[in-house]
Structure 1
Amino acid sequence: MTTTDDAAPDTRDSAWLLLARNPVTLLSALVLIVVAVIAVTATAIAPFGINDVAVPSALRAPSGAHWFGTDELGRDVLSRVLVAIQASMRIALVSVALAAIVGVAVGVLAGFRGGWLDTVLMRVVDVMFAFPVLLLALAVVAILGPGVTTTILAIAIVYTPIFARVARASTLGVRTEPFVQVSRAMGTGDAYILRRHILPNIAGPLIVQTSLSLAFAILSEAALSFLGLGIQPPEPSLGRMIFDSQGFVTMAWWMAVFPGAAIFLIVLAFNLFGDGLRDVLDPKQRTSVEARRRER
């Protein structure tokens, strides 16, 4: 029989302790740490230059000299994958950061103020939601032209309404809480309420959304580069490397497999890590996790 004293420690478990007890989340976090290290040190740890052409060594299978093989120009695939991961992560981080800043500002303003301002801002967000994600990104790139800066802006524009929706929904739930009403009754200014009460209490869903958005930003960058609208040659990109491998799939499978595997692992790790964060940062999900642990 479980006593109150035995169950109490489970109830008081911190979010980080619950996160640490999830092996899938820990594994995904480890993968993301490795990806972060690669993103910081890719140029230094790459065994060859990304544009070192060696035609006599073209289409060499993976070996001790070239762990991921070589491409049609004899360039080392491992070096190009490492630098491509660095470029993809840089684009994903900057674009999602821009989307989060603008989207959260719009969402919090709409949810906190309400009224006509909420209606106008949400109608703009609804219009942006009416377009498929990739189609909207393609439209932005088509207008501004291909390139890294354009790719960042396109992805940021695509994911801004998602952050706005999440921030607004969370703000609507928090602004009616008793502690907010008491603060208003005491004459506290809106800026203080937003900083002290609203933003800290909506941080959980926003952190989860950031993790998930980074995964989709990696996919979006790869898709745009695959279509020739993202990172431009000779700079390596995971999507562009997959595109270039199409004519050599039967004779050089490694040209597509390793960039594709990198995209798959990074996106999967971000998604699994986001799910783990949701389990411990969402009160309802956290209660469910704790209940399952107590039952076991």
Structure 2
Amino acid sequence: MTEPDVDETQTGRVGSLRLLLRNPVTAVSATVLVVVLVVAVGATWIAPYGINDVDVPNALRGPSGAHWFGTDELGRDVLSRVLVAIQASMQVAVVSVLFAVLVGVTVGVVAGYRGGWLDTVFMRIVDVMFAFPVLLLALAIVAVLGPGVTTTMLAIGVVYTPIFARVARASTLGVRVEPFVQVSRTMGTGHRYILVRHVLPNIAGPLIVQTSLSLAFAILSEAALSFLGLGIQPPEPSLGRMIFDSQGFVTLAWWMAVFPGAAIFVIVLAFNLVGDGLRDVLDPKQRTMAEVRRKQ
């Protein structure tokens, strides 16, 4: 592996973007995520009703022109609550995954680059965290710190940190033995410069793919915690909490569960499909196969 120059890097990025958008499934999924991002940013202004506007006479009304997603047991507009709940879920997912990226990549890169006892200590801590199921560990953290948005973000961020640590370490182990890194060391270049200039750019591909996939699972984790009453607390809407509240009205008002569930399904599926598309583009082997399929 040789370090590419700036022009080659820009050309490669443009080619990767074109190859990514030529995949119709990935392109549609990316479009869905753009819509979700718009909703996450402007849900408060897009929502046609207040999320806690109670209208008991219109409770449990089906989808109509006035209420596209119907109303819940208190007459609140389900569409408005789903939009704001998507905003909350995206906020939790982005912040928690960003925390996991910062901490996990730092640990993984340092462990893989330095090696020795530091690598052993860091990876044994990561192995201990991996011994617990993700949701169980998140439940334990929230149970200790108490339910709420902040603790939900922290819990999800902590449980996904080991994944990024392992991905970053594995990629760093391959990059640190490359000639351009060895030459930089021989010339007396500082470790920080080598990590920032040489190592991180060459391990960005796997990390980008993992970030996309982790965002999907973070949304699922937030929905699960809220469903159990340990995530976002009422009266703030949450997709998981809305599904929990709809249990007693499944036969009377199917829309109370279907639309929040559909929102979770569509967002998670879109993130996963975009992650698959990014893997096909950023992984050289997968990219070659994708180009062959396209030419056929």
TM-score (norm 1): 0.95
Instruction: Please state whether the residue corresponding to 1:191 is helix, strand or coil.
Output: helix
Q: Secondary structure at the match of 1:28?
A: helix
Q: How far 1:190 moved relative to its partner? A: 0.9
Give matches, 1:90-109, under 5 Å: 90-109=91-110
Kindly provide the amino acid, as one letter, of the partner of residue 30 in structure 1.
T
Aligned-partner Cα distance in 1 for 2:91–2:111: 30
Q: Distance in 1 between matches of 2:292 and 2:184?
A: 34
The 3-state SS of whatever aligns with 1:228 is coil
Aligned to 1:140: 141
Following superposition, the deviation at residue 238 of structure 1 comes to 0.1
> Could you tell me which amino acid in structure 2 is paired with residue 208 of structure 1?
V
Listed as ranges, the matches of 1:144-293 within 5 Å are 144-293=145-294
Q: Take 2:72 and 2:216, find their aligned partners in 1: how far apart are those partners?
A: 27
Amino acid paired to 1:221: E
Structure 2's unaligned 5+ residue stretches are: 1-10
Identity %: 82
Render the CA deviation track for 1:136-190: whole Å, top value 9, x for unaligned: 0000001000000010000000000000000000100111111111211222111
Q: Which residue pairs with 2:29 in the alignment?
A: 28
Letter in 1 for 2:209: V
Structure 2 distance, partners of 1:50, 1:92, is: 21
Instruction: Supply the distance in 1 between the matched residues of 2:287 and 2:28 (Cα, whole angstroms).
Output: 20
Counterpart position of 2:87: 86
Name whichever of 75-84 and 14-23 sits farther off: 14-23
CA RMSD of aligned residues (A): 1.1
How far residue 246 of structure 1 moved from its aligned partner, in angstroms, is 0.1
Cα distance in 1 between the residues matched to 2:245 and 2:120: 46
Q: Output the amino acid matched with 2:148.
A: G
Distance 2:53 2:210 in 1: 39
Q: Distance in 1 between matches of 2:242 and 2:250?
A: 12
Moved over 4 A (4+): none
Counterpart amino acid of 1:91? Answer: V
Counterpart AA for 1:187: G
Paired position in structure 2 for 1:5: none
Deviation digits for residues 4-44 of structure 1 (CA, Å, limit 9, x no counterpart): xxxxxxx9781111101100000000000000000011000
Match of 1:111 in 2: 112
Equivalents in 2 of 1:160, 1:204: separation in Å?
Answer: 17
SS of equivalent to 1:233: coil
Number of residue pairs the alignment of both structures matches:
285
Cα separation, 2, equivalents of 1:100 and 1:229: 24
Which residue identity lines up with residue 275 of structure 1 in the other structure? D
Q: Which residue identity lines up with residue 121 of structure 2 in the other structure?
A: V
Q: Distance in 1 between matches of 2:243 and 2:85?
A: 12
Residue deviations 1:96-134, cap 9 Å, x none? 000100000000000000011000000000000000000
In structure 2, what is the Cα distance between the partners aligned to 1:178 and 1:58? Answer: 68
Listed as ranges, the gaps of 5+ residues in structure 1 are 1-10
Partner of 2:74: 73
**Residue 293 of structure 1, CA deviation:** 2.9
